[in-house]
Structure 1
Amino acid sequence: MSGIEILNIFGFEVKEEPTSIYPYSPVYRVKYGNQDVVVKRTQSRAGSVMSYTNMLKDKGINVVTPVKLKVDNPQKYEDTNFVVYPFIKGQKYTGKDNEIYEAGKMLGQIHSYSPVSNFYDLLVYDVYDFNEEEVEGSMEAIFQHANKAGLKIDSAIKTKLMESVANQQELYCANLPHVATPHDYKANNLVFIPEPYLIDPDNAAWIPKVFDLALALLLFHNEHEEAPDRIFTIDEWELFLLGYKEYMDITDEEKRFWEKAKQHVFLDEVMWLMAEYEVDWQKSSQQNLFKSLLRILIDGNDYKII
């Protein structure tokens, strides 16, 4: 994929291949007049995402929305959609209590502005089809990566993930409250000015609200150099929820399914992360995060949403 060609379709004239500022996908910081902007990948339903994020911005949420250009924004390059956002200057998350509280409050605000139906035609969460063979394959890879890193993985992890496979149909039929949400709500998608500002809303989806909370618990500190190399402590999680509950209630049904939802999100979002990225097991920060994630899967009953 040519970075030059991606930038050229937006009218940015560059002659040398640009360097991505993000290691996992093409993200280019360039000048647009006197303004710094970021060109990045967005999802297939680009128009839906932009309509949704424009609504959030109109409601007062600090979230990036497309820069007005002389050409359409977003644009499609080959089979991939790209968008130009303003570059937001601010402080990175460092795990301070006030940052955690404000991040929880922002997610509560975002959820509170969700329509009651999928008005913005966002991607609908439908991942309820994991099977035992997938868990077997992923666990084999995880055990191998951990061995190379000199770590021993408790075999109870596999048992927990097999339980999650068995629970999928019950979760699917539970009729849990859904919300429109940026999903992927974590520290490296926020900057603080000093209030949190969401700089990557491009995974926006229509999903069970309790799944979005579980994802924040499990992966808020993922891929972030300044964040603690672990999940939230119980006190930090309660602080996050304190901010969240200023704007959004948690239903009795969500509380009843919380443990199963947490395990399901681990199955969907964490298992593949641990299995696919062997290099992360060699990084001390990610290795420590993985160890804390494995602990919460085996014994995380103190992480509640009551």
Structure 2
Amino acid sequence: MADRHEVQAAFGAVLTIEGGASLSPWSDVWAARVHGGEHDVDAVVKRTWRSPAPLEAWQRTLVARGIRTVAPLVPPVAVGEGDAAEQWVAYPRLLGREWDGGADDLAAAGRLLGRMHAASDGLAIDGFPPFEWGSAERSSIDEDVEAIRASAAEHWPHADADRWIAQLEAFGDTLERMRAAGLPHVPVSLDHRAANLLFDAEGALMVDLENASLAPRILDLAVAALLFPLEHPGAAGSALGGAEWAAFRGGYLSECRLTRRELELWPTALTYMKLEWGTWHLTEGVEPEPEGNLAYLEDLLTLDEHARFPLG
């Protein structure tokens, strides 16, 4: 993994990485200033895709279509050699505040996601990575069931994990229904969470698209419904409630019209993403910080996703 000095050397005189700790608790994201214009531009420097051209093409398309997100300020640089080489990129340092936990911000976040989906509809970008579907292998399902049981016993001993486990037992059927639906795959972030958003008087801004892939957009919407408060203090110890989801959903649907088939498959998409991604966050990915995250995860473990996150 490259260090700050190696990254600075790779960029050379194009930018200056500032001192101080990473701006992210999860990865190296450093404040920087990009030179070359009339004035320096405040930036952040971070790792990006090993082959970043498809991501950059999507980012530039989104920005050109009025989406409030980031695109590279200068060409990405390689740090290291051979298979160990990393690609680093400089993005504008967007200004805004954190999610305040309120419904107005949720509506803004929903509108932003809807605009992103509308702007990406029908977009074809060569080399964009496909969505990685889960496995229906019995051994994989058994491992997940045992991992949920063990993690629930350790972190949430009084929680009822039976519904989650029963749904895991039927994961193969859920996976097949989702894959067989044949929904269009478009570029989506798969990470539309409070931790990756900023807010200002104009609405929401997306600061991190590095988790993107080609996927049905209702899977992206399901990630937002289930995981929006993940690892964010604004969660206040729970997943989105009914009124909070209604605010997000209203914002989203005001900007993006879903097809009848997408609406029919929404319950399946919710359960699929809950099991495929939620299981990891409840097992290997359990994070006790920030305060309230364990309580949020307990709510995620026990909630009825169809009752909590309706689209109708």
Q: Which residue pairs with 1:113 in the alignment?
A: 119
SS at match of 2:70: coil
Q: 2:248 matched to which residue of 1?
A: 240
The alignment status of 1:286 with 2:293, answered yes or no, reads yes
Distance verdict in 2 for CA 1:133–1:85, change over 3 Å: same
Residues 150 and 176 (structure 1 numbering): CA distance in 2 closer, same or farther, change over 3 Å?
Answer: closer
Which residue of structure 1 aligns with residue 24 of structure 2? 22
Alpha-carbon distance in 1 for matches of 2:236, 2:253: 24
Which residue is 2:193 aligned to? 186
The number of equivalent residue pairs is: 300
Deviation at 1:215, TM superposition (A): 0.4
Cα offset for 1:114? 1.4
TM (norm. structure 1) is: 0.88
Tell me, yes or no, if the aligned pair for 1:38 and 1:86 is still in contact at 8 Å: yes
Instruction: Give distance in 2, aligned partners of 1:204 and 1:74.
Output: 20
SS in 2 for 1:108: helix
- The amino acid of 2:76's aligned partner reads N
Equivalent residues of 1:118, 1:206 under 8 A apart: no
Q: Which moved more, 1:57-66 or 1:41-50?
A: 41-50
Which runs of 4 or more aligned residues in structure 1 lie more than 4 Å from their structure 2 counterparts after TM superposition? 12-16, 281-284
Residues 74/229 of structure 1: CA separation in 2 closer, same or farther (3 Å cut): farther
Show CA shifts across 1:148-202 (max 9, x none). 3352342332111122232212211111233222221111111112321111112
Give the 5 Å matches for 1:131-150. Answer: 131-149=137-155
Question: Does the 8 A contact of 1:217 with 1:237 survive in 2?
Answer: yes
Give the residue type in structure 2 aligned to 1:23: P
Aligned CA distance change for structure 1 residues 60 and 290 (closer, same or farther; 3 Å): same
Q: 1:174 maps to what in 2?
A: 181
Q: In the TM superposition, what is the alpha-carbon distance from 1:43 to its structure 2 partner?
A: 2.2
Q: 1:43–1:203: 8 Å Cα contact kept in structure 2? A: no
1:89-238 counterparts in 2 under 5 A? 89-149=95-155, 151-153=157-159, 154-194=161-201, 195-238=203-246
Which amino acid letter does the alignment assign opposite residue 152 of structure 1?
A: H
SS at match of 1:143: helix
Instruction: Mark the CA change 1:91 to 1:173 in structure 2 (over 3 Å): closer, same or farther.
Output: same
C-alpha contact 2:231 2:290 (8 A) present in aligned 1:
no
User: 2:59 maps to what in 1?
Assistant: 53
5+ residue gaps in structure 2? Answer: none
Partner of 1:8: 9
Distance 1:187 1:222 in 2: 7
Per the TM alignment, residue 258 of structure 1 is displaced from its structure 2 partner at its CA by 1.5
CA distance in 2, matches of 1:250, 1:14: 43
Q: 1:283 to 1:95 in 2, by over 3 A?
A: closer
Residues 1:253 and 1:42: Cα distance change in structure 2 (over 3 Å)? same
Using the TM superposition, name which of 116-125 and 97-106 deviates more. Answer: 116-125
Distance 1:302 1:222, change over 3 A: closer
1:51 to partner: Cα distance: 0.8
> Which segment is superposed worse, 280-289 or 251-260?
280-289
Q: Matches of 1:40 and 1:79 in 2, distance apart?
A: 14
User: CA contact under 8 A between 1:186 and 1:222: conserved in structure 2?
Assistant: yes
Specify the code of the residue in structure 2 equivalent to 1:243. G
The one-letter amino acid paired with 1:24 is: W
Alpha-carbon offset, residue 248 of structure 1: 1.1
Please list the CA deviations of residues 106-154 of structure 1 after superposition, one character each: whole Å capped at 9, or x if unmatched.
1111111114253354211131424332233233333333333352342
Q: What is the CA distance between 1:281 and its match in structure 2?
A: 4.7
Inter-partner Cα distance in structure 2 for 1:29 and 1:256? 44
CA distance in 1 between partners of 2:46 and 2:210 (Å) = 9
Structure 1: stretches of 5+ with no match in the other structure:
none
Contact 1:97 1:239 (C-alpha < 8 Å) held by counterparts:
yes
CA pair 281-300 structure 1, distance change in 2 beyond 3 A: farther
For the 8 Å contact 1:48–1:121, the answer to whether it is kept is: yes
The 3-state SS of whatever aligns with 2:101 is coil
Distance 2:117 2:102 in 1: 23
